[in-house]
Homo-oligomer: A and B are copies of this chain.
Amino acid sequence: MSADNPDSTVNLNEQKAREQLIDLAADFYDQFARGDIPEMTLPTRTKSNIVFDEDSGVWVYGDRTSTRSANSVRGARKLLKAAYTVEFLANQLDENRSSTLRELYYLSESWDSEEAQFSTQDESNQLVEDLEIVSSVTREDFHMRPEESGAKLMGPLLLREQTRRGDREIHCQEDVGQGGYQIPNNPDTIEFLDHDIDFVMCVETGGMRDRLVENGFDTDYDCMVVHLGGQPARATRRIIKRLHDELDRPVVVFCDGDPWSYRIFGSVAYGSIKSAHLSEYLATPEARYVGIRPQDIVDYDLPTDPLSDSDVNALESELDDPRFQTDFWEEQIELQLDIEKKAEQQALAAQGLDFVTDTYLPERLGEMGVI
């Protein structure tokens, strides 16, 4: 992204999005014109069709594909819905408007063909994902806004955001309140202007995020604190990736010590099966896990809870997941199954409110070579 004119990049994406959509509709048209039954080919979106791409370092869809063909009523209806949606999205881009996935679902009720109306929101969500895959642009570039908004930033970064009311220059420590800077739905409207960030730390819970900010961790260590707020929204994952790639800074993830939190780490680092077509846009494969590790439960004698049956199942399923087949994760997950315990990140408070910033994080980040 150019430092002088962020508009150009955003507009370029939108122009590309529009062209790709029109191309897709033109494809249907050409197939009709040739006397072929129209069809649309997509990668198969299952766990077994996820492969590791050595070049980009992320997990992407493999070679297996599925075809949507108009050779059945059901298939023809799917392509009709796709054509209506393409028209809606192209108009939306023309008018510089945006909408949510839920609005698209409801809007379809106003379309003149009843056959084109969506019967469930799953159907319209899925179609938008299909269009992302076939057009190779993201739904943000179609101006489809997510329902969930991004989380909050606090750290030494000056950015410029394009808003509908003009550009805003905001420093993510000096120009914001204690709550931090709210990541917009489409973080590609942000340009990074200047920064003193040494590393980026993603934090699972709001309580821990507030602890780090209260203890001045972001200023003491020139750390960009990113609040994940549980499973991170797309906007949050995108900004983490951009902080890593554009500013060339290490990214670490600080979560609870349980299998669900390892999945949160996974969604930052590896992306998800559902959105493997977006891994290169959303995943930060260089992200590393600070803790809470099962090893920390032992080393720091943390207050724990016993593993539930569903925790054990989730850990076992992670051992089977190709994305977790590294020495680090196999060792940690096996240790956890062995000690049968989990711990929350806020459990560090059992050794005092400053233990996390004075002892735990400096030790862990030192071992990892981050500080």
Q: Please state if A147 and B106 are interface contacts (CB–CB under 8 Å).
A: no
Size bin of chain A's contact surface = 35 or more
A205-B147, A206-B148 are known contacts. Are A346 and B177 too (CB-CB below 8 A)? no
Q: Please state if B149 and A106 are interface contacts (CB–CB under 8 Å).
A: no
Q: Which of B148, B176, B189, B303 meets A182, CB within 8 Å?
A: B176
Q: Which of A47-55, A93-101, A263-271, A313-321 contacts B (4 or more CB under 8 A)?
A: A93-101
Distance between Cα atoms of A246 and B278 in the complex (Å): 47
A165-B173, A170-B175 are known contacts. Are A106 and B350 too (CB-CB below 8 A)? yes
Q: Please state if B173 and A177 are interface contacts (CB–CB under 8 Å).
A: no
Q: How far is the CB of A98 from chain B (nearest CB, A)?
A: 6
Q: Please state if B145 and A161 are interface contacts (CB–CB under 8 Å).
A: no
Q: Please state if A346 and B102 are interface contacts (CB–CB under 8 Å).
A: yes
Q: Which of A29-37, A194-202, A208-216, A362-370 contacts B (4 or more CB under 8 A)?
A: A208-216
Q: Which of B102, B206, B214 meets A149, CB within 8 Å?
A: B206
A103-B207, A110-B351, A207-B103 are known contacts. Are A168 and B176 too (CB-CB below 8 A)? yes
Q: Given the complex, which residues of B lie within 8 Å of A259, measured CB to CB? A: none
Q: Please state if B103 and A353 are interface contacts (CB–CB under 8 Å).
A: yes
Q: Given the complex, which residues of B lie within 8 Å of A351, measured CB to CB? A: 110
Q: How far is the CB of A220 from chain B (nearest CB, A)?
A: 12
Distance between Cα atoms of A188 and B180 in the complex (Å): 17
Q: Which of B148, B161, B178, B205 meets A163, CB within 8 Å?
A: B178
Q: Please state if A207 and B100 are interface contacts (CB–CB under 8 Å).
A: yes
Q: Please state if A102 and B207 are interface contacts (CB–CB under 8 Å).
A: yes
Q: Which of B107, B145, B175, B179 meets A350, CB within 8 Å?
A: B107
Q: Please state if B98 and A214 are interface contacts (CB–CB under 8 Å).
A: yes
Cβ of A352 < 8 Å from any Cβ of B?
A: yes
Q: Given the complex, which residues of B lie within 8 Å of A181, measured CB to CB? A: 177, 179, 182
Can you list 30 residue pairs at the A/B interface with Cβ under 8 Å? A98-B210, A98-B214, A100-B210, A100-B211, A103-B346, A106-B347, A106-B348, A106-B349, A106-B350, A107-B352, A109-B303, A110-B351, A110-B352, A147-B205, A147-B206, A148-B206, A149-B206, A152-B182, A163-B178, A164-B178, A164-B214, A165-B219, A168-B175, A168-B177, A170-B175, A175-B175, A179-B183, A180-B182, A182-B182, A185-B210
